[in-house]
Structure 1
């Protein structure tokens, strides 16, 4: 069977890009360094041979420990492990050393590749190597190690919003699903894409997959540096900018659109969590020629995706399934419910499934046939769009009513002083839950006005009875709010009377 006939694995995507477009720039990092597909492929092959020389065997696990803007060595090392047949574990600087050691030990990692200024977790007993030590003197010609689409390319960890992150095994076929060799040929010179995210994280794996499967040059900017992001947009005439909610919230509090020419941007995309309608409207005001697109899925799914273009007339819509994806909303027994009725959200895809490595019972609950249970509640609207109600673990039972924390947050965001908002349950001594809200306000004296807005626009059972003011919300590396750190603080706040 030839390369063009067999199912693709992750290294094939780089091989095909380098074959058809060797001199095209794949990555441009902060406007300072860049990497072509040819150099990426050759560097990955040379480093793969260095890993094999160290003793790495197919299907063994290797940790990647990178931080800062060390993207070139990171993606080179990532594809080196893949080309050697290994499985990567991504340990960015946001992962504490003790947690990094736990992940390396529970996945039986045999070694780690360290980026600039990074050190291996104390107590790790495998081999440790720097990227530069892998490449020297090694052949950079292609090699084949016999891995297939069902073999694991990565072990990713869930965001840990409700507890310690869990290991998900990601098969090659999950990342290459829907790709065929002819997909890697394109006409014209596509406009560049910007992604301001941290290196060596679950989002950076998605980013690497994007740059391998789309023709656009990826411009990487420092996460959270809105000024630098705007400079690079203007300099390279960026057409699409991928942002997470944390960046979106920072972006709308700036005036960068008045200082820089951002008219080249035609798409703002987000995937980590839905944007509050007020934030989406403000983005459209800052980028009048752009649209705000979103992609909704579950970490366990990835290829089953619901996509949407924000419409102010339908502010809470998540949209409809992308091509190749399916959607259903069911009762607790897995039976479809009528449109308009609240139920469990499932997304479907024929791609190889992601599985929990150490929780087979959870895998069995989440993955049923080609369907993936997202753990979210929602309903199908009258026009066929999916309307998200809430994460099931976040929804709050107040008397006989179920409160959507998302709906309450959206209402709070309508006050202009609210920079960030997180709504959650606050356990009470009698075993019931109260509705609490953690807020970052640009003017703390505006809290009474925010409370009045909530009382005026929300149903009585939705109104928060406890408010906590914070400088900023704690977030995971995936930009999701870590409510478990806020809940104990909210429990200490006296009720406001809601």
Structure 2
């Protein structure tokens, strides 16, 4: 962010864009409608005024529970809440009622704004749709300042109960510009995504809608065919996915049925791309630069960026956007190149924090650095390679096994559509390797093991293989590894891939 931009907030950026080009589309939702900058700004004022008239004070938390068909209403509500100086708590209506209740209760929301027909758990406070709350009038101004809390995102909770990560206005607006000539993604008229509301990826797309040159175009619910058709129909130049979506696009072979030649940038976020998947994306989108982004809800806007490179197929890149990166050994020292340790990123903006949890904040955030919860290493040129999530590393006998490495090897087999690896209990070794696999064509466990012989060491070889129709995922598309154990408890291992679905 340039010096003169340091006090800019996202609601302030919306005001500027509405003044510059009020009729320009900012956000389009497929089969639903569109929102111009002028309408977005006017409606955000109405929500902010409605909140103030109902007594909402600066710093009050306001839950936002919306479905993906409600992206327009959500965008209006988010900017209205933050313009009023309140703190937005975005949540997808795909979450289980208990998850929504936990988030709304955990941060003691004063009110809930929601989509029409949403089923909101009882948590206290009043509730309304943006239309019901809105109060007409002129521009509403209540500037809380860049250091004030703007939003709380509840993490996806793949390993336990979701935690609220708070971000300030300054953190969210880091790097945005008011200069029309410097707006990002200027190579396209639309950028396409299908991320759920309430995820860090979804919030990044909301920032893009305010800051980027093209209009945001979103699909209410991702399916490979509809997503590819949307790209083709709008000749979209930029596409954002998570790895699970990329895998579905490839498995459906949409590039054989749709013209995707307009895509110049395909970005993948939320998890690292298996090298075989990244290579297949480059073939499916031959005119696109494939970029892998590595960050977290806690670390943003710090991230590493990697333009997929055959010379470094497993790397997630080097720091970008003014951030920094280091690998820390168990004794707290900085690791040498090639040495494994904890991955820490340093944010160039004001650091985030866990809302209401100083102990956990102190364990994760330190002097601007954020502990990522991953084990990794740097090569001699400073490129980051992830070994595994700390919680996912499998200790089998005297060995430590990376689930990411075993998954990457499985993805190289042409019959494997998806794979997820975990450790299951063993009376002697403690744990052994277990892989759940979704296939696109018939294959046996014996075939897979033969294929893996020259790709994995003996201690990395899956002792159990389970063919399943789908992997357990959360609403963001990440595999929930604790639920893999339930699959292995229920299902027979080494079932042939053409077995009945209840055995796969």
Indicate the SS of the match to 2:251. coil
Does 2:462 align with 1:464? yes
Aligned position for 1:29: 29
- The 3-state SS of whatever aligns with 2:313 is coil
| Higher deviation after alignment, 230-239 or 195-204 | 195-204
Tell me how far apart the structure 2 counterparts of residues 415 and 439 of structure 1 sit (CA, whole Å).
11
Task: Tell me which residue corresponds to 2:17.
Answer: 17
Q: Determine if contact 1:465/1:495 at 8 Å carries over to the other structure.
A: no
User: Are 1:127 and 2:126 an aligned pair?
Assistant: yes
Cα deviation, residue 124, structure 1? 2.3
Three-state SS of the structure 2 residue aligned to 1:435 is strand
| Alpha-carbon distance in structure 2 between the residues aligned to 1:38 and 1:472 | 43
How far apart are residue 323 of structure 1 and its match? 3.3
Distance 1:479 1:216 in 2: 25
Q: CA deviation at 1:31?
A: 5.5
Residue aligned with 1:91, SS: strand
8 Å CA contact 1:328, 1:346 repeated in 2: yes
Alignment of 1:54-203 (within 5 A): 54-121=54-121, 123-135=122-134, 137-139=135-137, 141-182=138-179, 190-203=188-201
Summarize the Cα distance change of 1:495–1:329 in structure 2 as closer, same or farther, 3 Å threshold: same
Q: Report the Cα offset of residue 430 of structure 1.
A: 5.1
What is the CA-CA distance between 1:6 and the residue it aligns to?
Answer: 6.2
For 2:6 and 2:236, the matched residues in 1 are separated by: 35
Determine the structure 2 residue equivalent to 1:294: 292
Quote the residue 1:270 is aligned against. 268
Q: Which range moves more in the overlay, 33-42 or 230-239?
A: 230-239
How far 1:397 moved relative to its partner? 1.4
Q: Matched residue pairs, number?
A: 491
- What is the CA distance between 1:189 and its match in structure 2? 7.7
SS in 1 for 2:262: coil
Alignment map for 1:372-383 (pairs within 5 Å): 372-383=370-381
Distance 1:42 1:236 in 2: 27
Residues 146 and 428 (structure 1), Cα distance of their counterparts in 2 relative to 1, 3 Å cut: same
**2:193–2:241 CA contact under 8 A, matched in 1:** yes
Q: Give the distance between the partners of 1:473 and 1:65, measured in 2 at CA.
A: 26
5 Å-filtered alignment, 1:427-446, equals: 427-429=425-427, 432-443=430-441, 445-446=443-444
| Residue 18 of structure 1: how far off its partner (Å) | 1.6
Give the Cα separation in 2 of the matches to 1:131 and 1:76. Answer: 8
Distance 1:335 1:183, change over 3 A: farther
Is contact 2:201-2:269 (8 Å) kept?
A: no
CA distance in 2, matches of 1:197, 1:129: 24
**CA pair 5-165 structure 1, distance change in 2 beyond 3 A:** closer
CA RMSD across the alignment: 2.2
The answer to whether the Cα contact below 8 Å between 1:466 and 1:494 also exists between their aligned partners in 2 is: no
Which of 311, 322, 325 is the matching residue for 1:324? 322
Q: Cα gap change, 1:302/1:184 in structure 2, threshold over 3 Å: closer, same or farther?
A: farther
Distance in 2, matches of 1:428 and 1:15, equals 60
- Going from structure 1 to structure 2, the CA distance change for 1:31 and 1:189 (only over 3 Å counts) comes to farther
- Per-residue CA deviations over 1:48-107 (Å, capped at 9, x if unaligned) read 111222221111011111114111111111111111111111221221112211211121
Deviations 1:196-235 (A, max 9, x none): 2223444322211111121211111233222222222122
CA distances 1:134-161 after superposition (whole Å, capped 9, x unpaired): 22x511x222223122221111111211
CA contact (8 A) 1:267 1:292 kept: yes
Normalised TM-score (structure 2): 0.92
Q: Alignment partner of 1:452: what SS? A: helix
Query: What displacement does 1:392 show?
Result: 1.0
| Structure 2: distance between partners of 1:92 and 1:11 | 22
Cα separation, partners in 2 of 1:425 and 1:130, compared to 1, 3 Å: same
Cα deviations by residue, 1:32-52 (Å, 9 ceiling, x for unpaired): 511111110011001211122
Three-state SS of the structure 2 residue aligned to 1:388 is strand
TM-score where L is the length of structure 1: 0.93
1:49 maps to 2:46? no
Q: Please show how residues 189-338 of structure 1 align to structure 2 within 5 Å.
A: 190-338=188-336
- Alpha-carbon deviations, 1:103-131, whole Å to 9, x = none? 1112110111120221221x322101112
Gaps in structure 1 of 5+ consecutive residues: none
